[in-house]
């Protein structure tokens, strides 16, 4: 019988049982091999004739995936082991051990009546999207498939952690391959019910979770209209944030943001993708002075209306196209940052986007110390501006007696001053936008530490 003070694998002492159901147990324990002992979470699965074999496969997959993850807000993997049948009521057990996070789940906070403000929910969204960006950019990508309030831990230090990778999928769905349907009702997107998970599937679950935090009501208890969660009348939040949540929870995956990094960019900028959200066109419209129009003749009003409609349509269309190009450059920058962090070099073989779209060419060129991402209009006569991004190894320094190297990575985005450039200018060696262009936003700086392998 597993009980308090039991020592598993000659290393983990069970302290407090946190949960139990259908052959599973979760314990708070101590890693007594450390001095002083360190708190850990021990997840146990009993093997018995009644258990679904798929549960064991998912448990093992969780251990294998966690073993290769390295993110500061995902509890670190420590161990995976099996116990002999003489323990635990004659049943063999499998154990998975992770670092303990001192905090409380968002579900527990909701259960005791906690209500989250828009500011708090936005910060939670940013934290989770940063984790998802890391997971989805792995090779192969990792899809969590069960994001919900109970799997998000708000630690005492204010950081949000993503836990419970028991439903994780570490490869894309292949044609003709059947996957177990996993997820939690209310948070699982329609495509996942058919066993197909994509990056946008985790975005849907995140959106449903954020709506739960804002309303205090589980998504299953909220009304729906054509499979869309209806929550607008129950919250008082900025229109741009509400529209952003509506995109995240679109029933059709192709109508959501295409990636966690794109969703994060839209959230931080306050500007949702206008191509996917038609109602956002309202934000570009200027009020009409009807009083002044009243003194004009009908033919004059008709001509003014024609000019306004065509002028507005052309201007708004250009804004949409340029904004999409700028977003794509941002994603290309993010990809190269993550690739360098994982491989100690930039990706020289793969363009993050296809070489051309209908209106823009895209290209990537790299050296050992920089990655340059270009976007310029297909037709030089179009009134569209070119963009380029730069990701640079800004500096290196040795730390800890040369056992590690600290590297500063800097990313920028520049917009050409004039439209229609056939080839955009390139950043200078000083990592700044050259003459004839201007910087978009604030440069992003990241410090990473790598083992010294003769870089």
* pLDDT score recorded for residue 116: 94
- 25 closest CA partner among 41, 10, 13: 41
- Specify the CATH architecture of the domain 103-278: Orthogonal Bundle (1.10)
The answer, yes or no, to whether the previous bond of 140 is cis (omega within 30 of 0) is yes
pLDDT at residue 126, rounded to an integer: 94
Token reading at 265: 């960019």
User: From CA 18, how far away is CA 210, in angstroms rounded?
Assistant: 25
The per-residue pLDDT string of the chain (455 residues; one tens digit each, 9 = 90 and over) reads 677 888 898 899 999 998 887 778 899 999 999 999 999 999 988 876 666 666 777 788 888 888 889 999 999 999 998 886 544 455 678 889 999 999 999 999 999 999 899 999 999 999 999 999 999 888 888 888 889 999 999 998 889 999 988 766 544 443 333 444 456 778 988 888 877 778 889 999 999 999 999 999 999 999 988 889 999 889 999 988 999 999 999 998 888 988 898 999 888 877 675 344 333 333 333 334 444 444 555 565 556 555 454 444 444 555 667 788 888 888 888 888 888 888 788 886 654 444 456 677 777 888 878 888 888 877 655 678 888 888 888 776 655 555 677 888 888 888 888 776 555 556 655 667 877 788 887 888 888 777 665 54
**Strand 12-21's sheet: what is its strand order?**
7-8, 12-21, 24-31, 38-46, 93-99, 77-83
* CATH numeric code, 7-99: 3.30.200.20
> Which residue in the list 31, 79, 146, 202 is annotated as catalytic?
146
Task: Report how far residue 231's alpha carbon sits from residue 154's, in angstroms, rounded to the nearest whole number.
Answer: 24
Cβ neighbours for 118, distance < 8 A, ≥ 6 positions apart: 214, 235, 237, 238, 241
Locate CATH 3.30.200.20 in the chain: 7-99
- Please, are residues 414 and 437 in contact by the beta-carbon 8 Å criterion? yes
Q: What is the pLDDT of residue 369?
A: 83
Within the chain, all domains assigned CATH 1.10.510.10 are found at 103-278
Q: Is 146 one of the annotated active-site residues of the chain?
A: yes
- Nearest CA to 413 out of 346, 332, 341, 347 is that of 332
CB atoms under 10 Å from CB of 344, counted, come to: 16
* Stated length of the chain: 455
**What is the pLDDT at residue 308?**
53
* DSSP-derived 3-state class of residue 375: strand
Question: b vs e for 51-63, b when ≥16 Cβ sit within 10 Å of the residue's Cβ?
Answer: beeebeebbebbb
Residue 435 to residues 385, 421, 439: CA-CA distances in angstroms? Answer: 15, 14, 11
Confidence (pLDDT) at 376: 80
Q: Is the distance from CB of 17 to CB of 1 less than 8 angstroms?
A: no
CA gap 418, 162 in Å, rounded: 44
């Amino acid at each position: 019988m597993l009980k308090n003070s039991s020592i598993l694998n000659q290393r983990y002492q069970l302290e407090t049982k946190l949960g139990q159901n259908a052959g599973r147990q979760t314990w708070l324990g101590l890693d007594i091999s450390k001095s002083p002992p360190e708190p850990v979470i021990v997840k146990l699965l009993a093997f018995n004739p009644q258990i679904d074999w798929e549960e064991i496969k998912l448990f093992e997959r969780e251990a294998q995936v966690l073993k290769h993850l390295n993110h500061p807000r995902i509890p670190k993997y420590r161990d995976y082991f099996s116990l002999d049948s003489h323990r635990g009521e004659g049943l063999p057990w499998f154990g998975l051990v992770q670092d303990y996070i001192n905090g409380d789940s968002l579900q527990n906070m909701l259960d005791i009546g906690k209500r989250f403000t828009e500011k708090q929910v936005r910060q939670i969204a940013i934290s989770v999207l940063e984790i998802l960006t890391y997971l989805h950019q792995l090779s192969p990508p990792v899809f969590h498939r069960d994001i919900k309030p109970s799997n998000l831990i708000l630690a005492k230090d204010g950081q949000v952690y993503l836990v419970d990778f028991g439903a994780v999928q570490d490869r894309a769905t292949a044609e003709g391959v059947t996957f177990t349907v996993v997820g939690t009702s209310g948070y699982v997107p329609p495509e996942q019910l058919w066993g197909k998970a994509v990056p946008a599937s985790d975005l849907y679950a995140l959106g449903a979770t954020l709506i739960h935090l804002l309303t205090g009501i589980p998504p299953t208890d909220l009304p729906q209209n054509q499979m869309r969660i209806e929550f607008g009348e129950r919250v008082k939040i900025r229109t741009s944030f509400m529209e952003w949540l509506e995109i995240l929870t679109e029933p059709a995956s192709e109508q959501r943001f295409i990636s966690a990094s794109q969703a994060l960019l839209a959230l931080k900028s306050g500007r949702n993708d206008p191509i996917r959200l038609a109602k956002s066109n309202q934000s570009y419209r200027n009020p009409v002075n009807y009083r002044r129009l009243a003194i004009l003749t009908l033919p004059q009003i008709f001509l003014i209306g024609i000019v306004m409609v065509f002028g507005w349509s052309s201007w708004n269309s250009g804004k949409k196209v340029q904004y999409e190009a700028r977003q794509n450059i941002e994603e290309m920058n993010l990809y190269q940052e993550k690739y360098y962090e994982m491989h100690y070099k930039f990706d020289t073989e793969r363009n993050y986007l296809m070489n051309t779209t209908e209106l823009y060419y895209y290209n990537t060129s790299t050296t050992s110390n920089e990655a340059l991402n270009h976007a310029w209009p297909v037709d030089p006569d179009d009134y569209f501006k070119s963009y380029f991004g730069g990701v640079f190894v800004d500096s290196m320094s040795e730390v800890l007696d040369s056992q590690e190297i600290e590297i500063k990575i800097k990313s920028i985005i520049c917009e050409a001053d004039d439209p229609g450039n056939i080839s955009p200018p390139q950043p200078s060696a000083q990592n700044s936008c050259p003459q004839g262009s201007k910087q978009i936003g604030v440069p992003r700086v990241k410090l990473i530490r790598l083992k010294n392998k003769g870089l």
